[in-house]
Amino acid sequence: MLGLPHEHHHWLYVWIPLFGAFIWFGTLWALLITWLASGRPHYVSQDGNIAYISDVGADILKPLFIVGCAITGLSFFLSSAIERWLRHEGRLVANMRRRERVLASLAVFFAFVGMCGLILLSIFDTKRYTKEHRVFLLVFIVGVGLSAIFTVIEYRWISRDFVEIRKLKTLYIVKGTIALILILLAIAFAITLFQATDPGAIIEWTIAFGFTFYMLTFFFDLRMSKGVHKGELSRQRLLAMQQHGQGVTAAREANVGNGAVPSGDAYHENGAYSAAGPNGYTQMSHANGPASYGRGNAPIAQPANARVANRASAAYP
């Protein structure tokens, strides 16, 4: 792919959340430093003593604010969509149940809603379009909040199926903690917005900077695909691994993320499963037929992987 060796293919997309987080963090600092360096001016749209992000962004730095919000919103949506695509392609641990796929799709959809809200609130600034700005601010908060909730629940279900993969549990805990803190702060912001202007401004800046850390979690999500081949962690293959007692080994290999297959075993793109047989011979079990040993030995019947996977899939409705 574009001349990159396979172990570096993840470089094509892991930079997206990093770049988005960097732009967002830089935009916020530019707005904050400008307000402080200008002597903390009182903007037309400002109610309290502390300026809101939208107050500074509605003034001379509005072009910067729009560009920063557009890049950040697009990066957030693309990170969520690429994570879903990698699971579908079998380069991240697959969704084993229908509900996980539904949760992932909802997370992507609301990431798109949040992106639209962020871009539009920067265009419809609080100085000229106060009502519209607040509507799009609400759209952004709700979109990102729901996307985070669905993502955390999805990770929770995946981590329960593959408890051996420590990175999944770690990401689930980190994402959940950051999302919970930001959601609680968002609730506090909604309460203080009309009742305590200055505390509301402080909370808004805190939430904005905290969103940077949530963006960065997608870097670690996408990086787990490093060195993993297409289909290597697909649902069918994981079911076959579990049925052959290779769940722990496969999970550990996935945790390392070096693209290797379980020691002594191999899974092939055509659905075949191979394992070391007696005397070091190779045993092949194909999706459409029995297994056999090489070097002229008589076939030894083994259950087909397709039937094994179908029986195993009953546990994952």
Summarised one tens digit per residue, pLDDT across range 173-232 is 898 999 999 999 999 999 988 888 899 999 999 999 999 999 999 998 888 877 777 767
The CA–CA distances, whole Å, from 273 to 5, 26, 260, 301 equal: 26, 50, 15, 14
Q: How confident is the model at residue 236 (pLDDT cuts 50, 70, 90)?
A: low
- Residue appearing with tokens 């963006």: 215
pLDDT of residue 282: 36
Q: How confident is the model at residue 268 (pLDDT cuts 50, 70, 90)?
A: very low
Q: What is the DSSP letter of 234?
A: -
295: buried, middle or exposed (CB in 10 Å: 19+, 13-18, 0-12)? Answer: exposed
Whether the Cβ atoms of residue 125 and residue 133 lie closer than 8 Å to each other = yes
pLDDT of residue 286: 41
227: left (phi over 0), alpha (psi -120 to 50) or beta: left
Average pLDDT over residues 4-15: 62
Q: Which three-class secondary structure state does DSSP give residue 92? A: coil
Among positive and negative, which fits the CA dihedral 107, 138, 217, 178?
negative
d(CA 14, CA 28): 22
Helix (H) or strand (E) holding 182: helix 166-195
Q: How confident is the model at residue 34 (pLDDT cuts 50, 70, 90)?
A: very high
pLDDT of residue 148: 93
Q: What is the pTM of this model?
A: 0.73
pLDDT of residue 251: 45
Tens of pLDDT along 127-180? 899 899 999 999 999 999 999 999 998 888 777 766 556 777 788 789 899 999
Q: How confident is the model at residue 256 (pLDDT cuts 50, 70, 90)?
A: very low
